[in-house]
Structure 1
Amino acid sequence: MSMPFAKTDALPAAAVEELGRPSGPRIRRIRAGNAGPFTFMGTNSYVLGEGTVTLIDPGPEDPAHLAALLAALGGERVERILVTHTHRDHTGGLSALQAATGAATLGFGPHQTPPGPGAEGADHDFQPQHRLADGATVAGEGWRLTALHTPGHCANHLCFALEDHGILFGGDHAMSCSTSVVIPPDGDMADYMAALARVAAREWSMLLPGHGAPLAEPGALLHALLAHRREREQLVLVALGQHGPAPLEVLVPAVYGPIDPRLVRAAGHSLLAHLRKLAAEGAAAEQAGLWRGR
């Protein structure tokens, strides 16, 4: 299906984009220069408020990005650093930023699964000073954020809803530029689809994603992302009927068709997540690395 993605991002790395005014609190976006097949043009960091501020996602370990964040702050006090999830392109810069600001760190919790297969990019060192459960709130002058536990892409993923303004800080759960990769065992497709349905059920005026440009009125995209996952699941069932029992290497091209070679591994991860969901529902089974429908 055609997806209403925003495939461009005009903000240069290290530049500052002003968002959120005049009716709401000041919001600034600073993009890191870590462009790649899984990070699009780079990871977004957001500064919320003015004077005493909250920062969402410090981004990768990168002196240039740290310098850009500190320059954007211009002497303001960082009261807290919120972390959407424990992938290093979002948390790698945390230690240096915390050392420079003394800010407290907040997140859902440490990475939920141990090192091992499927743990690429995970930050197992992250330990928030304050844990945010689903529904927890963080407030500043003229604004209030609600933490939404949205597992799937990462088991400890949080989105942040800017209450009274309809703005969603989507992290990697909902991005304006692409779908999210779901990598088992930490990633879980059933969790992802349930959390996406929860977010899509609300009306939002703006999506501020972990990667990609801000997107106004993101409802159509959120519903399209959910429909895309449901359609993909049906393609998986068809492929199992036509090719099963079969390994992932056979099922990936059958389900995804021709794709960028750099994305084949990611497609395999998400396909495995779909297969595990279907197996839990009794619609698929695996034996010795071969998958079949049931």
Structure 2
Amino acid sequence: MRVDFNKDFTPQYGQAVVLGNDIRRVTAHNPSPFTFTGTNSYILGKDELAIIDPGPDDDDQLQTLLRVIAEHRLDYIFITHSHSDHCGLAKRLSNLTGARIVAEGRYRPALTNVLNNSIALDADCDKNFKPDIILGDGETIEGNGWKLTSVTTPGHMANHTAYVLDKTGVLFTGDHVMAWATTVVAPPDGAMQDYMQSLTKLLSRNDKIYLPGHGGPVMKPHAYVRAIIAHRKMRERAIIERLREGDRTISEIVKAIYRTLDNRLHKAAALSVLAHLEDLVEKGIVITDEPLSLFSSYSLS
């Protein structure tokens, strides 16, 4: 099953775009191969406001958000996960407005059996991130005209969560599901098994539209999630086939199965292959005599 990615999205930097249901979107000016056109912040409500993912610690982004919420009270800052492009501005915004920071929890690695990898991506982790309020799966916070419920979605990061806006069919998916690309699952902070389980979890829900952390909306969520699951399973089969053909390193596998990929994304591809290999080792399909890392040697069991 092919994934129909949609990159048709034009950000309106420095402005709030009205989406309906008292939702406004502000896109930070931090485009990159990993953030697409920039990080989306979502502002909810009319008077007692909430923000989902204020974005990177950037002066222009801060001034835009303060201008949009001017003369209104900001009560809560919801965070989908502790990558700096999503939560970096949270502390400064909280200090200026008195809003409390809400998230699934503090930063923590998803895996303890994988060596920390020297390849860094743009989306660095804020390892000092600490929410004021911890919101577990199914728990709810509401304000005047809005009600958000946490839907925990570990995988991209251990503390990743989505938020559903009550009575609208809208799910804010952060980096878990995006229209423009699949998410990066980078061990040890992310885990492929968690990611796949979180995708399956979304199929049991009846959300009508996804508003992601980067790019435009996902308009047909169930079909799209099924396609992503199929895509990941296809990648897993391709990795197993490369091992069967004699490849032993992640570098060899990436060169074989990502032939047309933009060179700037090869780091992310290597981490994705590592995530698949960690899962396959856990399942007993793949073995290695070394600690799990980007530079270990792998073979079929």
TM-score (norm 1): 0.94
2:187 pairs, out of 184, 187, 207, with 184
Correspondence 1:16-55 to 2 at 5 A: 16-21=16-21, 26-55=22-51
1:90-124 deviation per Cα after TM superposition (whole angstroms, max 9, x unaligned)? 11111221122110011111111399436750001
| Match of residue 95 from structure 1 | 91
After TM superposition, give the deviation of residue 44 of structure 1 in Å: 0.4
| Match of residue 11 from structure 1 | 11
Cα distance between partner residues in 2 of 1:32 and 1:285: 43
Q: Report the residue type matching 1:287 in the other structure.
A: D
1:255-274 deviation per Cα after TM superposition (whole angstroms, max 9, x unaligned)? 32221110001000010000
SS in structure 1 at match of 2:8: coil
Contiguous gaps of at least 5 residues in structure 2: 291-295
2:129 pairs, out of 99, 122, 126, with 126
1:9-60 deviation per Cα after TM superposition (whole angstroms, max 9, x unaligned)? 1232122111133xxxx00000000000000000000001111111100100
**Alignment pair present for 1:290 and 2:297:** yes
Aligned length: 289
Contiguous gaps of at least 5 residues in structure 1: none
**Alignment pair present for 1:229 and 2:232:** yes
Percent identity, please: 39
Q: Which moved more, 1:76-85 or 1:283-292?
A: 283-292
2:220 pairs, out of 212, 217, 220, with 217
After TM superposition, give the deviation of residue 226 of structure 1 in Å: 1.2
After TM superposition, give the deviation of residue 72 of structure 1 in Å: 1.2
1:61 pairs, out of 43, 57, 62, with 57
SS in structure 1 at match of 2:239: helix
SS in structure 1 at match of 2:298: strand
Q: Report the residue type matching 2:78 in the other structure.
A: L
Cα distance between partner residues in 2 of 1:4 and 1:72: 33
Q: Report the residue type matching 1:60 in the other structure.
A: P
Q: Report the residue type matching 1:128 in the other structure.
A: P
Cα distance between partner residues in 1 of 2:147 and 2:269: 37
**Alignment pair present for 1:78 and 2:74:** yes
Correspondence 1:129-168 to 2 at 5 A: 129-168=132-171
Cα distance between partner residues in 1 of 2:286 and 2:116: 24
Cα distance between partner residues in 2 of 1:202 and 1:4: 21
After TM superposition, give the deviation of residue 70 of structure 1 in Å: 1.1
TM-score (norm 2): 0.92
Equivalent pair of 1:204/1:217 in contact (CA under 8 Å): no
Q: Report the residue type matching 1:36 in the other structure.
A: S
